Structure 1
Amino acid sequence: MRNRQYSVGLLIILLGIVILLGKTGVFSFAIGMLWPLFVLVPGLLFHFFYFSRMMPSGVLIPGGILVTVSILFFICNFFGWHHMAWLWPGFILAVAIGLYEFYLFDNEHPKGVLTAAIILGVLAAVFFTFTVLFTSGIYFVAVALILVGAFMMFRRPRF
């Protein structure tokens, strides 16, 4: 009987701790910051299923997409969602990564899939470059002007 009282007492203490942590916002903060795990875990499971030979290589496409998108979500969760203004080409890159994984690990190595992955990867890089230039381009222009001016001031003339 003494062990049962001990177990019930321990259960009541744990329940109190859970309620106290819930009321202080610990769980809502953790869920609010770690919800991208619900996107990451299925992507990792797709990879696990392929590499353990339980599913065909086609599962690498959604696996690569989900893992890449979850990384974008984690970045925005930890550093702020305003970064999505220049991270949005990552969604195009996610599809390129998924297709490239499929090409890389499929036995037939389909050329059309590689072509699509390269096109989407280049498109994502172009969009990312333009986005960074249009959102933060003035800083690059300022640094370039400073460097050109310093070069012009301190270069040695050739006679």
Structure 2
Amino acid sequence: MKNERAIGLFIVIAGFIILLGKLGVFGFIGRNFWPLLLLLPGIALYALFYARVSPSWSLMPAGILTVYGVLFSITNIWGAGLMRNLWPVLLLGIAAGLLGYGMVERRRPEYIYPAALIIGAVSIVLLAFTLLQTGIIYVLAVLLIIGGFWLLVGRGRAGRSKGW
């Protein structure tokens, strides 16, 4: 009697899995949520380290996987064409991993901080160059204009009231 129920339950579950597969549910999940395969292990490695279960070197893959998971989630939502401009973030993931390791390791190797800072700085400079080639240059121009007006108008009044 128990075997018949177990077999019946197995058949019902198999039927649901087949039905969901034919309706495209698994394809939808795979297409839209695959970056979680990178993001969740990265977050889990951080959690394991701070729970004092894993060693400090686990922060290197944790930083890399977390940054890559966020990057690929962004490109998955707004289009893979963003990788044309966001590719320097791949270097930033390596820098984040090295920096995380360097911050908590007691016996800090002398090359960790310089390597993390150099890779991070190169990544940010390259990201700035790629973003300045897009429409963000207009945002930068508007911010400069607003800042200039603020210095001319807003700050001038405050300076006069103090007797400058």
TM-score normalised by the chain length of structure 1: 0.76
CA distance in 1, matches of 2:10, 2:79: 38
* 1:108–1:146 distance in 2 versus 1, CA, 3 Å: closer
Q: Which residue of 2 aligns with 1:43?
A: 42
Paired residues for 1:9-158 under 5 Å: 9-137=8-136, 139-140=138-139, 143=142
The structural deviation recorded for 1:43 is 2.3
The structural deviation recorded for 1:35 is 1.6
CA distance in 1, matches of 2:76, 2:50: 30
* 1:109–1:142 distance in 2 versus 1, CA, 3 Å: closer
The structural deviation recorded for 1:141 is 7.2
CA distance in 2, matches of 1:145, 1:65: 34
The structural deviation recorded for 1:111 is 4.3
CA distance in 1, matches of 2:143, 2:74: 28
CA distance in 2, matches of 1:110, 1:22: 50
Q: What secondary structure, in the 3-state scheme, does the structure 2 residue paired with 1:135 have? A: coil
The structural deviation recorded for 1:7 is 5.2
* 1:87–1:15 distance in 2 versus 1, CA, 3 Å: same
CA distance in 2, matches of 1:88, 1:118: 18
1:13-38 Cα offsets, whole Å, 9 max, x none, are 33322212111111011012222222
Instruction: Tell me which amino acid in the other structure corresponds to 2:27.
Output: S
Instruction: Tell me which amino acid in the other structure corresponds to 2:128.
Output: T
* 1:62–1:26 distance in 2 versus 1, CA, 3 Å: same
TM-score normalised by the chain length of structure 2: 0.74
How many residue pairs end up in the alignment? 155
Instruction: Tell me which amino acid in the other structure corresponds to 2:38.
Output: V
* 1:50–1:144 distance in 2 versus 1, CA, 3 Å: closer
For the aligned residue pairs, the C-alpha RMSD in angstroms reads 3.3
Gap regions ≥5 residues in structure 2: 154-164
The structural deviation recorded for 1:86 is 1.6
- Percent identical pairs in the alignment equals 39
CA distance in 1, matches of 2:144, 2:67: 36
Q: What secondary structure, in the 3-state scheme, does the structure 1 residue paired with 2:128 have? A: helix
CA distance in 1, matches of 2:29, 2:53: 33
CA distance in 2, matches of 1:92, 1:15: 44
Bigger mean CA deviation after superposition, 121-130 or 13-22 = 13-22
Bigger mean CA deviation after superposition, 117-126 or 54-63 = 54-63
